[in-house]
């Protein structure tokens, strides 16, 4: 066999084994897991897996509550995005003005505070609807509740384009 042919065959074999290895590692739904499948590190269980133990009424209440929150905060979220864009423009200026940047940051922080004030009652209402889950032994973390809330915010659809908050 010629040396060039052997080199090409070795490169093809290496490429094939790397491709198959990555495909196996990534799983059928890609790196993030999906469709209720865990990701490579078990961190993502899919949006609907969290709601398997909820009644249709609970899911409906969560959906309506989320929609009301999104409707009530739409103008604040829009204004926040506009302020962020304005802040980026100030930073990108040839000679950024410190005073203008600090003023814009204060405006942005005021909007964030308003959103947080609306978020607390929303979260408390969600907590009333979701069934109680026993806390893991020795855990004082809010991580499980935060994951539940993330899934409530993503309740409307499974589309990756839904930004939630």
Q: What is the CATH number of the domain that holds 111?
A: 1.20.120
pTM: 0.55
pLDDT at 70 (0 to 100): 94
Q: Which residues of the chain have pLDDT under 70?
A: 1, 16, 18-52, 133-165
Domain that holds residue 79: 73-130+141-157
pLDDT at 2 (0 to 100): 73
Coil vs helix vs strand at 75: helix
Name every residue whose Cβ is closer than 8 Å to that of residue 87 and which is 6 or more positions away in sequence. Answer: 101, 104, 105, 108
Q: Is residue 29 part of a domain?
A: no
User: What's the rounded Cα separation, in Å, for the pair 45 and 39?
Assistant: 7
| Tokens at 93, concatenated | 């200026």
Q: What are phi and psi of 93, to 5 degrees?
A: -60, 155
pLDDT at 110 (0 to 100): 96
Q: Is residue 117 part of a domain?
A: yes
Domain count, the chain: 1
| Tokens at 161, concatenated | 């384009």
Q: Is residue 8 part of a domain?
A: no
Q: Is residue 119 part of a domain?
A: yes
Q: Is residue 16 part of a domain?
A: no
pLDDT at 157 (0 to 100): 41
Q: Is residue 60 part of a domain?
A: no
Q: Is residue 59 part of a domain?
A: no
pLDDT at 35 (0 to 100): 47
Q: Is residue 37 part of a domain?
A: no
pLDDT at 135 (0 to 100): 61
């Amino acid at each position: 066999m010629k040396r060039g042919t052997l080199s090409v065959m070795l490169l093809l074999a290496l490429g094939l084994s790397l491709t198959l290895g990555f495909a196996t590692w990534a799983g059928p739904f890609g790196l993030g897991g999906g469709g209720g499948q865990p990701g490579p590190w078990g961190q993502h269980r899919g949006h609907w897996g969290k709601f398997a133990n909820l009644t249709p009424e609970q899911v409906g209440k969560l959906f309506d509550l989320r929609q009301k929150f999104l409707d009530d905060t739409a103008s604040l979220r829009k204004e926040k995005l506009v302020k962020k864009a304005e802040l980026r423009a100030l930073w990108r200026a040839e000679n950024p003005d410190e005073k203008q940047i600090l003023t814009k940051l204060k405006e942005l922080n005021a909007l964030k505070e308003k959103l947080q004030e609306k978020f607390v009652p929303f979260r408390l209402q969600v907590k009333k609807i979701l069934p109680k889950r026993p806390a893991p032994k020795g855990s004082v973390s809010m991580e499980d509740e935060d994951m539940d809330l993330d899934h409530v915010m993503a309740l409307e659809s499974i589309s990756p384009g839904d930004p939630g908050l």
